[in-house]
Structure 1
Amino acid sequence: MRDGLDDGAAAGEGPIPDVLDAELCRRLFGSLHRSGQRVKAEQYVRGLLSVRGRKTLRSIAAQFDGASAQQNVHHFIASSPWEWVPVRHALARQAQRALAPQAWVIDSLLIPKAGPHSVGADPQPTPLGTVNGQQAVGTWLTSERAAVPVDWQLRLSARWTVEPLRHRASVPPDAVPGTVEECVRQAVVGLMGVGEMPRLPVVVDVAEADGISIARFLASTGLPFAVRVDAAAPVRIDRSLLPKYGDLLHTAGELSESLPHLRQQVNPGDGRTTAAAIPVSASPSGREAMTLLGECPPGRPAEPRLWLTNFTADRLAPALRLTRLPGVVERDCAEISDGVGLRDFAGRSFPGWHRHITLACVAHLVSAAARRGDVTHINRTTVR
């Protein structure tokens, strides 16, 4: 889980070229039925791009005209009846055209909070101890050069789905308490529902999730995938491909260490590395054939990085290329997303959180295009 400070981040702030033109706004906000909503969406994104420091509703309202600007911004985000999913779908299609992504990357994000009142805030375990905050699962369209967030799931504990918190936070009736694995499954279902998109691999790097469970779910979808798994994840050797080995249950870490003759030198595009591709089954029935990737990069700790994938052993290099993409997400989240207020929403409203983070994703796309010199490309891309 990637974490961050609740007081905002200065990373990525600075003058942003004006690439949020009328045509781009039409593509992104065309699902908003009222012209006033479309204007407010554009103004809100401009506020996220221009306000320095923490992006609060008050600081963003300073970009609006009129004495009731703060009230209008609060209403637009917290209670105005516009749906965020169509905006996210439009954003995904625009990011696909501008970015030519190689995969969807799903990862988790910790958003620390000072108190218990922000929607979804609960004690969250981290390697450094328990932190109060929100846990979200993000879906990013990612290439080797850039990543753009296009969808988010906010994990809710049981206390947020019963009264009085459900009513206070405007949590909808169909929102139920769930695990991180369930959030990841929702994210996969969500990306499969975006129209006019190419069939892309799915990369899941969520330490808090059961990687075996997620890999089985992805296998059922037929999508190409790579899922980061813990060394303790239980797997069996696929004896149809390695008949000389027993069918005892092993941990992924044990298999990676015990079959050194399967290791090979491979260059996935960023230099030579040592990796093994082991055919395994991730279910007791043996019906879910997958490949366990165990990589020991040069100069890294001895413990290998482990992934389950439906790429076969003869496609080791392209599979390893996919495992590099979460690093692009981590970099762009720190350099761009934090600077446009992705973690900054402090309200108690569930719809407000989703609307704010949706517009922060739009701001991320605009900022990424401007900073990486894609201004002309993002504005002249034709709608398919």
Structure 2
Amino acid sequence: MSSENSPQSHEIRKPRVAVVFGGRSSEHGISVVTAGAVLRAIDRTKYDVLPIGITQDGRWALTSDEPDRMAITERTVPSVEQLAESAEGAVILPVDPSSREVVYAEPGLVPKALGDVDVVFPMLHGPYGEDGTLQGMLDLAGIPYVGSGVLSSAVGQDKEYMKRVFLSFGLPVGPYLVVRPREWEQDEAGARARIAEFAGDHGWPLFVKPARGGSSMGITKVDSFDGLDEAIEEARRHDPKFLIESLLRGREIECGVLEFEDGPRASVPAEIPPATSHEFYDFEAKYIDAAPGIVPAPLSEEETAEVQRLAVAAFEAASCEGLVRADFFLTEDGGFVINEINTMPGFTPISMYPRMWQESGVSYPELVDRLVQAALKRSTGLR
């Protein structure tokens, strides 16, 4: 057999991973930072990588593959607009499941084929990315992706329905009140009366939160009715539906869940110490001042086992896939209460989710590889 016809002479194509980041939500900058860490860690000998940024107005842009430009500098988060190769060019994903070819188009120029994409790593946080919208588009296109599907992503994004799902599966949830847009617009007095009753039952302080969001954006801790109007206005700036939650006194504990071949497993838990220079563990404390968490959390064996059990139970309750970070309060009476899950948690090397898995024996590059491999093996049909 001649060498040119030998199978060994043909190089096997590496799987191509499209790392998609940025987006239209208020968490745009943090998504860019997260994607930079993944681009730095992904094994280039094993995968071809295509970085695609979504601008703040929703344009899919071809970006430079420069992770060092995707970091927080001088307390400022980066943006896709700073990384885009063109101010007008757009990346177009296929809409036909029989093709995975991605095309790049610029006004006045012939569209350029960028090749097939085998899997998408959606490093998006918040609405229009982590909430099932992107997942539905990728399902229609027949492209596998890292993380949970449409329903699980939507449930994980909407704090009201997340809590409803948890309660239906018997998971412990703290006291909360939901105010929907129509109620606030048509019966504000009635909504205020419900809030007043909730405050009377549970006391101050209270937390006012947008129902759909992350990175603690739009959340305000209020100590009396005096700060309530401003807090509601801030929450509604991010989402017209908002929640009122009572303060749970205790320790903040987090636990990572990762899907293995035999099912989901929990990491060692972490503890978020009180943010002494902040009212609570808000956006500034998480990302700008980078308040360090304690990994592993100083818990008893029984407490560790219980929070790991609850984290996996939350993962299963919401029918999640791939990865989840589950956040809890260990209350003063010794019981765990689940606060929320994140279906695409912060993913920089200093973020809690990778740190918990690092302490559990899974390095950051291995974590990225495991998630991509799981997505490549997953069916793109009904989940």
TM-score, reference length from structure 1:
0.28
Q: Which has the higher contact order (CA 8 A, sep 6+)?
A: 1
TM-score, reference length from structure 2:
0.28
